[in-house]
Chain A
Amino acid sequence: MGDVQHFAGPPDWLWYILAYFFLAGLSGGSYVLATLLRLRGAPGDEPMARIGYYIAFPPMVLAPILLALDLGQPLRFWHMLWNTTPGHPGVNFKYWSPMSIGSWALIVFGAVTTVSFAASLVRDGKLRLPLVTWLDNRPFNVFGSLFGLFIAGYTGVLLSVSNQPVWSDTWALGGLFLASGLAGSAALMLLLTRFRPEARPSAGMLSVSERLYALLELALIAVFALTLIAAGTQGQVFGLPWLVLWLVVLAGLIPGLYGLATERLSPNGAAALRHSLAVPLLVLAGVLALRAAVIFSIQV
């Protein structure tokens, strides 16, 4: 089988998009982890869950701004939602276009994270708005988590639904971005326990999930690489200088994989917190590097 031929040109999705992909992964991932903690954890996990809901919100404020700024016509960002074709007014919704569904998902998830964020504030006694706590119930969090999973992962699908070399040669990107988003979220939540000591009891859970997500991510990187080799485009994304970024990605997996190797799934919370600054930052750097490698290698 000959190599797949690709002649599509680069869309010049660069820094704004990288930032958005990064934030979307963290926001979605955090929301999911927070919900897991709230729904399936012990009562003592609630502080950590709130960290998650706090984290999920700001990226969703930034995301539309980043996306709008990336547009050639930022003031027309709403054209994503509403068709302005003369004579054909109506809602724009194309289920086969990830960007189209993504726009709607972003709206919904933005609202969800806003509510959960506000509810966390209320519950933490920082705000008085009883309505939101009423809204932010368990079914709501489950519903929100589904969107969280979507937001963290669809960005990869969006890249794949194209005719770009690398991006469209694989079906692993959505999963890969999601896994790395979850890993990154776990790391970020761990990091933020520094500012919320009462959440520390949940650290063990996050550090175990971190290990599992690192493994999942590694597996998906392997799938990603294999699909590219089948298409003959591996050189483009794994070649120099992008190899450096991949080293960072792998470095970001080390804490999780190392933990897995040494401590298996033992939820040693204290150990997780011992390196609580450097390790999570390394993981987050890996999350960023992964997206950067995938986005930039085929465009510049």
Chain B
Amino acid sequence: MPHITPGQAYGFFTDTSVCIGCKACEVACKQWNQLEGNAPSFLDGFDNTGRLDAENWRHVQFHDDVPDETLSEGNGKAWLLMSDVCKHCKQASCMEVCPTNAIIRTEFDSVFIQPDVCNGCRNCIAACPYDVIGASHTTGIAQKCTLCYDRLQNDMTPACAKACPTESIKFGPVEELRRTAVERLQTLHAQGVTQASLYGHDEKVYGGLNAFFLLMDKPEKYGLPDERNAVLPSRNNAGGYLTAAVTAVLGVLGGLIALRRRREKVSSEDG
């Protein structure tokens, strides 16, 4: 691959149709980023990680829709396997709400939480529509995928993409990845895999996701809001403040009415 150059947008194209759920990405990420991981616990046998959080910056989802048939089609659609990660949204909800400006956009156009700026208020957790961020019990701060910022700065492919054996995780300049993704989609459609679709490759979702996906089922199946539901937290500012303002006016009015009633009463008693 050509050198990784600052000033260009980098990201992932995660093609779930070729993911084999091996979790190499999960482990590679932990290894490189020195994440300890959570205490072992049994969840459903294949996914015992559960979700993205401070200790899991990649998480492989398993959705078992395998039909009870003696012959069935695989092709990534019966047992949905998907390696989830921060989407490095163009319009990032987390970044929008962060009060400390700890979340920045790097020279690689990735969304990065600066560990020594973040104070662990967790506002970003409530904001991220993809349930990506977690608060670390050890560092106290919000943590998530950094797009291997340190590796990129040293011209190295992110650890998860490097480890992925099937190239389900493709790393590269976003522009290039988008072209690859469209081609891949066309191939799949030509092969009759009609339910394959791209998610986040164009601006319809949060202005475009730098880490986008090829999915084999509806986005919500994977915990991804569809286009209509991909909305930013700030949408609620106006309505919220307006209601509060109206309430404030009514509240003050209420107080004034109470005062007036009391004055009336006092004056009637006086009179």
Contacts and interface: CB of A to CB of B under 8 A. Distances in A.
Contacts of A32: 251-252, 255
Nearest to B122: A11
B136 interface: yes
B92 to A, nearest CB: 11
Contact of A212 (B116, B140, B141, B258): B258
Contacts of A178: 244, 247-248, 251
B248 A209 contact: no
A7 B129 contact: yes
B207 interface: no
A154 B240 CA distance: 8
A162 interface: yes
Interface in A6-53: 6-13, 32-33, 36-37, 40-42
A103 interface: yes
B237 A161 contact: yes
Interface residues of B, number: 71
A216 B120 CA distance: 35
A77 B104 CA distance: 19
A205 B126 contact: no
Interface string B200-237: 00000000000000000000100111100101011011
A77 B118 CA distance: 10
A40 B96 contact: no
B128 A174 contact: no
Contact of B247 (A8, A71, A216): A216
A7 to B, nearest CB: 4
Nearest to A33: B255
A39 to B, nearest CB: 9
Interface in B223-271: 223-226, 229, 231, 233-234, 236-244, 246-248, 250-252, 254-259, 261-263, 265-266
A251 B142 CA distance: 39
Contacts of B135: 11-12, 72
Contacts of B131: 7-9
B258 A208 contact: yes
Interface in B1-57: 51, 53
A58 interface: no
B114 interface: yes
B153 to A, nearest CB: 14
Contacts of A156: 240, 244
Interface in B106-130: 114, 116-123, 125-130
Nearest to B133: A9
A173 B242 CA distance: 11
A76 B115 CA distance: 12
Contacts of A10: 125-126
B233 A79 contact: no
A213 B129 contact: no
A220 interface: yes
A98 interface: yes
A5 B205 CA distance: 14
A120 interface: no
A97 interface: yes
B265 A204 contact: yes
A29 to B, nearest CB: 8
A7 B205 CA distance: 15
B148 interface: no
Contacts of A77: 119
Given A42-B263, A80-B119, A175 B225 contact: no
Interface of B: 51, 53, 93, 96-102, 104, 114, 116-123, 125-136, 139-142, 220, 223-226, 229, 231, 233-234, 236-244, 246-248, 250-252, 254-259, 261-263, 265-266
Given A41-B262, A167-B126, A171-B238, 12 more contacts: A8-B127, A9-B132, A12-B125, A42-B266, A71-B120, A76-B118, A92-B100, A153-B244, A159-B126, A161-B97, A163-B233, A205-B259
